[in-house]
Amino acid sequence: MTVLRLPAAIYQVIRAHGEETYPHECCGALLGLSASDGWQVHDAVRAGNTRTDSAHNRYHIAPVELVKIQREASKRGLDIAGFYHSHPDHPAHWSATDLAEAHWIGCCYVITEVALGKAADTNSFLLAGLVEEDKRFECQSIVVEEQSIDRGGN
């Protein structure tokens, strides 16, 4: 099983974002560096939920926003490690729609259940596979790191 390492501050930010947008979904991107066993996250970037038709159970990051996030990340020597979104009053497990709309193979997809406005479980799933046709989500363990991480060196 792969590992997603999240500094405690970022873990809190992701969960608080879901509480803030409740009963709608929140979404954003995770920036970090790949490690031999998974991802080390260095930052989280909020994104506007552009799904106005069904914002309570769908999320979407506009392509133009994603390009901007990616450009900012590479300026800082980071990659897009994955994405996060919330499930208002639904378990922190991926849906068929989540899988269909996930295209970043090798990246992690973090889901937080927000139950009655309070963040509950947070789980991460790695989008595994080689091509779009055989992509699948694999459970990933989340390690929340207490101390701040060193961003230097890269």
d(CA 63, CA 48) in angstroms, rounded, equals 11
Member of 4, 44, 92, 98 binding Zn ion (CB under 5 A): 98
d(CA 125, CA 82) in angstroms, rounded, equals 10
Residue nearest to Zn ion (CB): 98
**Site for Zn ion contains 113 (CB under 5 A):** no
11/109 with CB nearer Zn ion: 109
Q: Are 65 and 48 in contact (CB under 8 A)?
A: yes
Task: Give the helix/strand (H/E) hosting 80.
Answer: strand 79-88
42/84 with CB nearer Zn ion: 84
72/93 with CB nearer Zn ion: 93
Per CB under 5 A, residues contacting Zn ion are 95, 98
